[in-house]
A and B are shown apart, each in its own frame.
Chain A
């Protein structure tokens, strides 16, 4: 979840003064700016997040809704959007452990942790995931704590992929 937005430009409409468009190509840097602005208004933000690092709970171009981050209510298992301090990239990954100086964060599908991310680098929290117009329930509910612990102990992929594979076989049958 850290690549630039790469969606096609939509057909333009509007008037001679205003162009109206749907999703646009926008670099990570500017997306961070817009998200920060919206969060500063205390509002939510919805966009299609590219990347595979949170698969299978958040897949490439799933539409995620972000809400302002509150340090006091954030818990292990929450999925947060933060700016990676050493690259300036926007990343959407899961909190797997707490520390006084920040959170330890990791992508569900990543073998390595992102490291300790300071509280002030975290912009917002994922509150909803949509895929093909449907809400995806798994990954943000009460099970998120177990997912976080399994991810922390690097057991998530061992346990999850056989289940996902079995599920896809059952669906095919």
Chain B
């Protein structure tokens, strides 16, 4: 996996479909051209969702951290840990890709 830095900019993969269903964000990966409801699906918890919504291919992880720290009045160090944790997890599963 590529190394993440605070300056990394991530984008949602083209090989997923995400949709909010009854308050939950569900991610359906498209593997080999098939979106498979019988295979693994992903849902994000509230923290994950807040981060996911800010991952737009423009903002760096640092920008996203700053944004969230301001919104939740939390320490950036703690928020960065969450942002990087989620990013690593989703990169590993090819749900996010590093831009550029």
- CB neighbors of A among B22-50 (8 A): 22, 26, 28, 30, 33-45, 47-48
Asked whether B34 lies within 8 Å of A33 as measured between CB atoms, the reply is no
Asked whether B86 lies within 8 Å of A17 as measured between CB atoms, the reply is yes
Asked whether A17 lies within 8 Å of B17 as measured between CB atoms, the reply is no
Question: Assuming the A-B contacts A30-B21, A30-B22, A38-B30, are A16 and B85 also in contact, with contact meaning beta carbons closer than 8 angstroms in the complex?
Answer: yes
Asked whether B48 lies within 8 Å of A17 as measured between CB atoms, the reply is yes
A19 sits at the interface (CB 8 A): yes
Selected contact of B42 from candidates A14, A27, A45, A47, CB within 8 Å = A14
Nearest-Cβ distance from residue B16 to partner chain A, whole angstroms? 9
Selected contact of B30 from candidates A19, A22, A41, CB within 8 Å = A41
Cβ–Cβ < 8 Å partners of A44 in chain B: 33-35
B90 sits at the interface (CB 8 A): yes
Cβ–Cβ < 8 Å partners of B34 in chain A: 43-46, 65
Nearest-Cβ distance from residue A127 to partner chain B, whole angstroms? 10
A160 sits at the interface (CB 8 A): no
Question: Assuming the A-B contacts A34-B19, A34-B28, are A17 and B38 also in contact, with contact meaning beta carbons closer than 8 angstroms in the complex?
Answer: no
Main secondary structure of the interface of A (DSSP, over half): mixed
A120 sits at the interface (CB 8 A): no
Chain B: number of interface residues, binned into ranges: 20 to 34
Cα distance A6–B67 in the bound complex, in angstroms: 39
Cα distance A47–B39 in the bound complex, in angstroms: 9
Asked whether A17 lies within 8 Å of B89 as measured between CB atoms, the reply is yes
- CB neighbors of B among A36-53 (8 A): 37-38, 41, 43-48
Cα distance A48–B38 in the bound complex, in angstroms: 7
Residues of A within 8 A of B (CB): 14-24, 26-27, 30-31, 33-34, 37-38, 41, 43-48, 63, 65
Residues of B within 8 A of A (CB): 14, 17, 19, 21-22, 26, 28, 30, 33-45, 47-48, 51, 82, 85-86, 89-90, 93
In addition to A17-B82, A34-B19, A37-B17, 10 A-B residue pairs with Cβ atoms within 8 Å of each other are: A17-B85, A18-B44, A18-B86, A18-B90, A19-B42, A21-B42, A22-B39, A26-B21, A34-B26, A44-B34
CB<8 Å pairs between A and B, sample of 18 = A14-B42, A17-B85, A18-B48, A18-B86, A18-B90, A20-B42, A21-B42, A30-B19, A30-B21, A33-B19, A33-B21, A34-B26, A41-B14, A41-B17, A46-B35, A47-B37, A47-B38, A63-B38
